[in-house]
């Protein structure tokens, strides 16, 4: 079923790209700017049609998309009759809205996905200590644990298996401490490596007391070897809004942190302990598609699969929305920075009683834009290669 997950991700990616370009397109049209092309992909045209003054279509390289708005920069050649409708002739506040509309649409799509998940399926909760899986061995390290690596002959038997825990058991207490959630139980276990523990479980309505010695996983902590299935609790519209806001806050914080860690992540992309470094916090389109495929193929309830995929796609849309706002050309944020600089420069000129200096000379910015573009290409290729030969499982 991996192929189905890949297909779902690729369709979601295509929709996200179209949604981004639609934001630019609709905003530009709303302000009367002339849009001559709306394409998904780059390179040679595979298929297209004309509707009104705009050509819509698909390009051969599915690596993004674009909307062609006439007169985007001072370098563009515009027919005299179209100059009044060019991007550069419109007020700066309108240009800023058009440039920011792509990222805005990513945020809208992410909110709709998270809100719909919370309202339709429910909010994921770990308020259960009923066990769904029992590990057979102790992973060699945290990377093997997170990646679900298969057991080897060198690895010892997991404490949960030695204790006799079974799928369906509900842990009611751990060393005399009442178990209230799986997160709480995991924290208790991780804090007590090598220690003997007593577990009380409810097994088919009967109380069973079990004993075992916890193991230790490097860079992780104490290890028992159990897993649970989250439950989904129905919520109200206000609860869905609150959940969506919390998700946005956490994802934005994580995205900004991931962007800030990119320089330090580069040397560690191919390290054996990548998952334990800043390189473990970044992934490529290939890595995200692979994780979606693995989620669909996993032996897990459909609710978990739906939640994982929707939250993954929402997270990627938030990340891309933020990334596009980074004030570096050729990204939208770079063009926004140029318009803001024009605005600041015009304000200073007005204070000094001078004429508006007008548009920034993009000819001078071409080397910077090309340099940033090449850096992004190199980093993107490295990230894809790392996700192929040295993957990190995020789910």
Identify the bridge partners of residue 67 per DSSP, sorted by sequence position: 38
Within 10 Å of residue 13's Cβ, how many Cβ atoms? 20
Q: Which two tokens stand for residue 136?
A: 């057979």
Give the SS3 label for residue 171: strand
Asked if 229 and 300 touch (Cβ cutoff 8 Å), the reply is yes
Q: How far apart are CA 25 and CA 385, in angstroms?
A: 34
Within 10 Å of residue 214's Cβ, how many Cβ atoms? 23
Strands 123-125 and 131-134: unpaired
Q: Which residues are catalytic, by number? A: 21
CA 360 to chain centroid, in Å, comes to 34
Asked if 151 and 136 touch (Cβ cutoff 8 Å), the reply is yes
Within 10 Å of residue 317's Cβ, how many Cβ atoms? 28
Q: How far apart are CA 371 and CA 270, in angstroms?
A: 24
HEC profile for 238-249? HHHHHHHHHHHH
């Amino acid at each position: 079923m991996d192929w189905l997950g890949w297909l779902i991700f690729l369709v979601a990616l295509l929709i996200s790209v179209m949604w981004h370009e639609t934001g630019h397109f609709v905003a530009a049209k709303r302000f009367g700017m002339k849009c001559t092309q709306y394409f998904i992909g780059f390179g040679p045209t595979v298929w297209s049609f004309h509707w009104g003054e705009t050509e819509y279509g698909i390009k051969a390289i599915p690596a993004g998309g674009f909307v062609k708005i006439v007169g985007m920069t001072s370098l563009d050649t515009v027919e005299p009759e179209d100059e009044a409708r060019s991007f550069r002739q419109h007020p700066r506040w309108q240009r800023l809205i058009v440039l920011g509309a792509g990222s805005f649409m990513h945020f809208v799509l992410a909110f709709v996905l998270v809100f719909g998940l919370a309202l339709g399926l429910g909010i994921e909760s770990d308020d259960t200590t009923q066990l769904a899986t029992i590990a057979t061995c102790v992973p060699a390290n945290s990377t093997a644990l997170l990646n679900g690596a298969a057991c080897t002959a060198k690895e010892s038997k997991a404490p949960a298996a030695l204790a006799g825990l079974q799928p369906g058991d509900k842990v009611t207490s751990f060393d005399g401490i009442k178990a209230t959630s799986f997160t709480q139980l995991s924290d208790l276990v991780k804090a007590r490596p090598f220690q003997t523990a007593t577990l009380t479980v409810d097994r088919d309505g009967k109380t069973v007391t079990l004993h075992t010695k916890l193991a230790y996983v490097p860079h992780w902590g104490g290890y028992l070897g159990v897993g649970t299935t989250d439950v989904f609790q129905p919520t109200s519209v206000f609860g869905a809004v609150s959940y969506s806001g919390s998700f946005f806050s956490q994802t934005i914080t994580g995205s900004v942190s991931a962007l800030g860690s990119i320089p330090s992540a580069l040397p560690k992309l191919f390290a054996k302990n990548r998952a334990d470094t800043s390189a473990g916090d970044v992934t490529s389109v290939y890595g995200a598609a692979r994780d979606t495929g693995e989620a669909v193929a996993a032996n897990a309830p459909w609710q978990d699969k739906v939640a994982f995929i929707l939250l993954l796609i929402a997270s990627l849309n938030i990340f891309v929305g933020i990334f596009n706002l980074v004030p570096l050309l050729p990204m939208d944020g770079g063009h926004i920075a140029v318009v803001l600089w024009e605005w600041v420069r015009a304000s200073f000129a007005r204070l000094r009683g001078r004429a508006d200096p007008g548009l920034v000379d993009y000819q001078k910015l071409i080397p910077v834009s090309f340099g940033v573009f090449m850096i992004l290409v190199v980093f993107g290729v490295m990230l894809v290669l790392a996700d192929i030969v040295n993957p990190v499982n995020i789910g």
